[in-house]
Amino acid sequence: MSTNSVASRLQKARKGVGVAGPGPAARKPASRRKWRLSARAWTLIAFAVPSIVLLLLINLYPVIYAGIQSVRNGTLISAGSFVGFSNYRHILSDPTFWHSALFTVIFTVTGVFGSWLVGLGLAVLLRTRIPLAGLFKVLLLLPWIVPVVVSATSWNWLVATPQSPLPKLTHALGMGDVLFLANPTWAKITVCVFKVWISFPFMMMMMSSALASVDNTVYEAAKVDGASSWQAFSQITMPLISRSTYISWILMTIFCVNDFPTIFLLTGGGPVNSTTSLVVLAYRTVFQDFQTGPGVAIAFVMTLVLVVISVVLYRQIRKANVE
Amino acid sequence: MSIAANLRQPATVSDTAKPTGTTSGNAGKWWRFALVLVITAVALVPIGAVVVLSLRPALGSTSTAAVTLQNFRDVFSQTGVKTWLGNSLAITLITVLIAVTVAAPAGYVLSRARNRLVSGYSLILFIVQSLPIVTAVIPLFILFSKIGLVDNLAGVTIIYVGSEISVAIWMMAAYYNSIPIALEEAAWMDGSSVFGGFLRVVLRNSLPGVLSTAIFSFLLAWNDYLIAVVFLRSDPNYTLPVGLETFFQQNATNWGLVMAVAVIMMLPPIIIFSVLNRYFSVGGIGGSLAGK
Amino acid sequence: MASQPTNAAITRRGFIGLTGGVAGAALLAACGSGGSGSNSNSLKFWNMPWGNTAFNPLDKKITLAYKPTGGMAKATYQEIQWANFTQTFSSAVASNTGPAVSSGGGTQAFQFESQGKIAYADNLLDSWKKNGIYDDFLPGLLDAMKVKKGYAAVPYNLDMRVLWYNKTLMQEAGAEVPTDWQSYMNACAALKKKGIYGYGTGAGAGAFTGGHILVSWMINNGGGLFDADQKPNCVTKENIEAINFVLELVKKKYVDPASPTYTSANVQSQWKAKKFGMGFDTGGLADNVGGAVGPDLLVGTPLTGPSGKKGMLYFPNNIMMYKNTPSQKDSEAFLTYYFKNMTPLWTKSTGIGLPPLKSITQTKEFQASANNVKIINEWQPIAHTWAAPGGEALFLNVTQVDGTPAMDTFTQSILGGHTDAKSALTTLQNTIKSKMTS
């Protein structure tokens, strides 16, 4: 079958569920009417239904519930009564909320770009022929695979006290006694580095598969044209993997903004709230202050912003694809 | 060493094509090897620490040995670690099974059909993926307590499937995108139904995609802590991460035992990745996310 | 998927504010699966992991050895983990699937009492007046359990905060064991010359001891957080003086600068590394540190504050009875049995806190530990609850200070030395107030 026919089929397929296949029904214009769905359409709907039920039950229902709780003064197991937007006013006028929002941005930006740079670098290195590359690929996934409960405990052991290995090292290097967790600035840095450490394997996998899809012959051509290695990378490779890069940034942004254990297990949000992100603030407000309304309101504001950003970016990608 | 020289080389390390052209190729190979070796070594320090601590004598132990397996013997003889391991494996495997069963057909819709409904469906998947699980726990707890799914392995399994289903669907769709629609068309021409074509042609050719999705589901379910700790109540129902909690006693924590359980927790994902690594790819997610 | 930490200490004493519990109860009661204690002839006893791994097996053995007479209900045993125990209890009690008798968080009984879920212990205590158990309680313990309508619970084990010192390090530094604030400062100075910290503490993730000790300094000076009306009253002369004293210790570098984020494990490893020469911690510190340093750790004497007073914060953990029971008589009969037979929990080194009964403190096993004897003899009599200085009886709003973000922030800012006493105390008071009213 020619590629043309596949392309035209796809073209048709884009137009509607009813014409997803080239069956007889699809050929009749009548079947394109909204209310008469073909057997194929019904099959596809049946394919999607289980997942939709799950999404409604496990994902959408809690969000709606949370939205309702955010305008009430309830507790963990009681509904409470309607209080309007006072929870939102309360949290938006709290400086802790804005500090947490700022840290969330810092954490996300460093998490996304830090892990992307490390991941991309490793993906490029591992693409070349080096001994034991297969082994390295598996070993480098470990930070992502190991449960965070375990790795946070281990990181704490590495940095917490002046007798821990890393502070001893910085001391020996003449950098003085670095308080990796107790100094507000260092605590921020440590948490961000921890996040990069956890996330780079994911980025490495994303970038590896993006690089694998790049046709090697383009480099041959570039070489003939006398391009330097950096030129080849920045002007050929990067544009070719730009869409994957863009998508990996979006995914990682979502992972970072929603990340709870990485921060909470390492610092608990301290010292003095310096590493409190919005998710951590929401958790502490609900589970440590027992203030369900404001806590859920924080999470809801955060979710709304995230969804708006996601949707905008999502449309951008799709638009870029259509063109 | 030039990056371009690296990039000219084949995409996969197992590829047998020869590197082209560079005289510095061999020396460069060892430099790159050294660099990767150092990065790997640094990245693995925290994990190595866990393994080392698990082999140290336990708190209050009189043993002076540098290395001991006593912690492992203790967790197996004194705790319910076998039960927890069994529960974790059961929950995780059933989660994987259901997730793949639900995601495989759903991903097909995402991959092949194009209209407003499907766009909306795709958008919902995307939004769902961006919601924080922390806030979902309470509403789900209330719902599940009404229908008897608290302290119930099935209840936890349902939540796991629900929380990872969107990524699973993307991964499946991504793989289907790499399968030419011509294959199905041929089946349809032969009189096969959509379902038949999906089952016999598409799914049969999607083993790597299925495995990839399964591995991802496995990882999320295996490593979860928050859901399990909220929904599982009694010792016979604990999974490994909750069971780990029983070591955090009122005042003293026996870190040797904690680390031994941590090592036991790390092993299954590591084994799975070492065996199935070549099938695993998250790269496709992007493709299905962005449409083709 | 997110994970959540659960150092036991995180939720140890705090208890979820079920202020609107009635609606929640109705909600969850609808789902009651019928497994309530009332329709079976067994009595559910839920207990927490109060000690090391030996604790619960022994405790279970004691519980199951209960042979009731006269057709009374036998007891069943369930161990409840500290992780998320608040949700475990609140949902179980609200849906009538909870225990008839349980221990739990230190303020749990007061939470449930306010929702009408607790069976008062007054009759039980009356019967204990006849069999000698009542008079066996250490002084002051029962007072902390008394609410307006009766006794919400009975004291079970005591979690104390005491002064510890490393005798070897003190000798090497030529430091005297302190008896008041000034001599404490002097001892810190002597230790400092050896590069050792005199105020070992921690206020990191899940480590609430740091905050407890700050309140202890206030109580030591005759202050505290709540007045007689159980309202927050933090910005007092006594409290400011106490916090200023701590800030001076911080400024003179007698406090480990990393301590604001130390977990309990970090604190213990600093004691082990001989970096902490003195500090305030739970009664079990020496056992927790263990190894070569453990035996060197001794309990000091209570310090006398500038106001001439002594005092320290402590937590009387307790056992409560619920209205949801086969019968109140069954609950009381079981608890009487339990209190008569629980001595092995303390004599067989299970790691539980200090005993509430004088008779247990007089066993030769207990007397064998000089530290424990000192804590009971010198610290227990001067110890106060969160309710200090206004009173002793615990109440709902202490959940707004125990292990809450407000307290963490307060403690971390003091131990980091970034604030002054008055403004930190004012912030703390305002935060507690705003949480109480909302």
Contact check, Cβ <8 Å, B7/A22: no
Give SS3 for C429: helix
- Which pLDDT score, from 0 to 100, does residue C437 have? 56
Longest dimension (CA), chain A: 80
pLDDT: which is higher, B58 or B96? B96
Quote the pLDDT of residue B45: 92
Grade residue A13 by pLDDT with cuts at 50, 70 and 90. Answer: very low
Beta bridge partners of C281: C162
Locate the chain B residue with the closest alpha carbon to A253: B130
How confident is residue C256, by pLDDT bands cut at 50, 70 and 90?
Answer: very high
Query: Is the model's pLDDT at C420 over the cut of 90?
Result: yes
Between CA C362 and CA C368 the distance in angstroms is: 10
Q: pLDDT tens for residues A232-281? A: 788 888 887 877 787 788 888 888 988 888 888 888 887 888 999 998 89
Q: Which of C4, C203, C418 sits opposite A264 (nearest CB)?
A: C4
What pLDDT, on the 0 to 100 scale, is given for residue C438? Answer: 47
pLDDT at B120 over 70: yes
Q: Which of C4, C91, C288 sits opposite B252 (nearest CB)?
A: C288
Q: How far is CA B243 from the centre of its chain?
A: 20
pLDDT at B22 over 50: no
Nearest CA in chain B to C265: B253
pLDDT at A73 over 50: yes
**Could you tell me if A17 lies within 8 Å of chain C, comparing CB atoms?**
no
| Residue B159 · residue B230 · CB < 8 Å | no
Among A residues 153-212, those touching chain C with beta carbons less than 8 Å apart: 156, 160-163, 177, 179, 181-182, 184, 187
Asked if B286 reaches chain A (Cβ–Cβ under 8 Å), the answer is: yes
A299 touches chain C (CB under 8 A): no
Over chain A, what is the mean pLDDT?
79
pLDDT the model gives residue C199: 96
Count of other CB atoms within 10 angstroms of residue A236: 18
The pTM of the full predicted model, rounded to 2 decimals, is: 0.79
Give pLDDT, residue C322.
Answer: 95
Residue of chain A whose alpha carbon sits nearest to that of B188: A23
CA distances from B102 to A42, A47, A53, B157, C131 (A): 16, 8, 10, 13, 65
Q: Which is higher by pLDDT, C96 or A9?
A: C96
Overall average pLDDT of the B168-191 stretch: 84
Residues of B in contact with C55 (CB under 8 A): 249
Query: C52 at the B interface (CB within 8 A)?
Result: yes
The SS3 call for residue C43 is strand
Band (pLDDT 50/70/90 cuts) for residue C268 is: confident
Strand partners, C278: C165
pLDDT score for A26: 38
C89-103: per-residue pLDDT in tens?
Answer: 876 776 677 899 999
Q: Decide: C200 and C400 in contact? Cβ < 8 Å.
A: no
The mean pLDDT of B192-221, rounded to a whole number, is: 86
More confident residue, C47 or B17: C47
Mean per-residue pLDDT over chain C, rounded: 85
Q: What is the pLDDT of residue C6?
A: 32
Cα–chain center distance at A294: 25
What is residue A28's predicted lDDT score, i.e. its pLDDT?
A: 39
Complex ipTM tops 0.85: no
Report the pLDDT value the prediction gives residue A121, as an integer from 0 to 100: 93
| CB pair distance less than 8 Å for A273 and C262 | no
**C82, C84, C95 member nearest B230 (Cβ):** C84
Amino acid type, B11: A
Q: Is B152 on the interface with C (CB under 8 A)?
A: no
In this predicted structure, which of A139-153, A261-275, C79-93, C193-207 has the lowest mean pLDDT? C79-93
Nearest to B244 by CA among B46, B75, B56, B45: B75
Q: Mean pLDDT highest for which of A151-165, A211-225, C10-24? A: A151-165
Which of A76-90, B255-269, C166-180 is modeled with the greatest confidence?
Answer: C166-180
- pLDDT tens, position by position, C106-137: 888 887 887 788 999 999 999 999 999 999 99
Burial class of C419 by CB neighbour count within 10 A (0 to 12, 13 to 18, 19+): middle
Torsion A16-A17-A19-A20 (CA) sign: positive
C265 at A interface, C-beta within 8 A: yes
Look at residue B53 in the predicted model and tell me its pLDDT.
Answer: 83
pLDDT band at B252 (very low <50, low <70, confident <90, very high): low
At residue C36 the predicted structure's pLDDT band, cuts being 50, 70 and 90, is: very low
Q: What is the pLDDT of residue C233?
A: 94
Contact between C120 and B266 (Cβ < 8 Å):
no
Give residue A293's pLDDT band: very low, low, confident or very high (50, 70, 90): confident
Give mean pLDDT, residues C303-310.
93
Per-residue pLDDT, B19: 41
Contact status of C228 with chain B (Cβ, < 8 Å)? no
Helix (H) or strand (E) holding C216: helix C209-220
| CB contact B182 to A (< 8 Å) | yes
H or E segment to which residue C272 belongs? helix C264-272
